[in-house]
Structure 1
């Protein structure tokens, strides 16, 4: 039923609940787990300048690599191997949906709010946008 399950990460602890759920699905269906981290950089270069922008992008991409590595370690702890990972730059919801379409993802599993989530929000803004525009089912995990 599900061959490819995607978990977008922002490196927050809230993602661990989504990874837990996704790991269960991946094991049940003998699927491939995909993990994506999106660096949002739009509008920043104009405020910072080119040199500062490049330094900021490097820092954020390092954070993205750490977030993806944490997800892979978590998956490994649950007996999963062969996790597909990617770090992209762009608008998070658009990149998540784009990755879904480009890689034959059957289901997206997301935390309801991530690093920038407001505790009062029921669903984080990125999660809400993905739910509205995804061509595949999106499972939201309350975090």
Structure 2
């Protein structure tokens, strides 16, 4: 197994996948702080899950969802200017983990910062989590930020 030492690599671009959750908001806040310190650009990515199955969307539903995700990205880009950071946004359709990894590879992302929400063990076992898949498959460092409201029981 080849080990790559990323500790000396400069962070010039950070990818923050978002679904509008509190955990994604916490991840964005962390990414903005890092980007401000490192003089990096933040890419905010929203992925519409097109996995199909019993929860598949109709064409009209997908259109409405795409519009709402685009508005979410616009809102993130107009955020409070606490940090002096350039932010760019994108919306993709596909399987979230795969789209996140592909976007990172295509755009030369140096680090991925994403939120992890607390889900039950049964849901994790059945579908896995996007964060877990990204951590396992990404070729760049991944920082996982837990939702502040998640507590261990």
Secondary structure at the counterpart of residue 11 of structure 2: coil
Q: 2:45 is matched with which residue? A: 36
Q: How far is 1:119 from its partner?
A: 5.6
Q: 2:119 is matched with which residue? A: 118
List structure 1 segments (4+ residues) > 4 angstroms apart after TM superposition.
Answer: 119-122
Aligned mate of 1:99, from 86, 103, 107: 103
Separation (CA, whole Å) in 1 of partners of 2:51 and 2:28: 27
Aligned length: 134
In the alignment, is the contact (CA less than 8 A) between 1:9 and 1:67 conserved in 2? Answer: no
Q: Which has the larger radius of gyration?
A: 2
Aligned mate of 1:87, from 87, 91, 96: 91
In the alignment, is the contact (CA less than 8 A) between 2:40 and 2:85 conserved in 1? Answer: no
Aligned-CA RMSD value = 2.4
Q: 1:66 is matched with which residue? A: 71
Q: 2:59 is matched with which residue? A: 54
CA deviations on 1:39-89 (whole Å, 9 max, x unpaired) are 112326x987xxx72101111112211221232233x43234531211000
TM-score (norm 2): 0.78
CA deviations on 1:97-142 (whole Å, 9 max, x unpaired) are 00000000000001112xxx526689x7000000000000000111
* Unaligned ranges ≥5, structure 1: none
TM-score (norm 1): 0.83
Aligned mate of 1:12, from 21, 28, 34: 21
130-139 vs 55-64, greater mean Cα deviation: 55-64
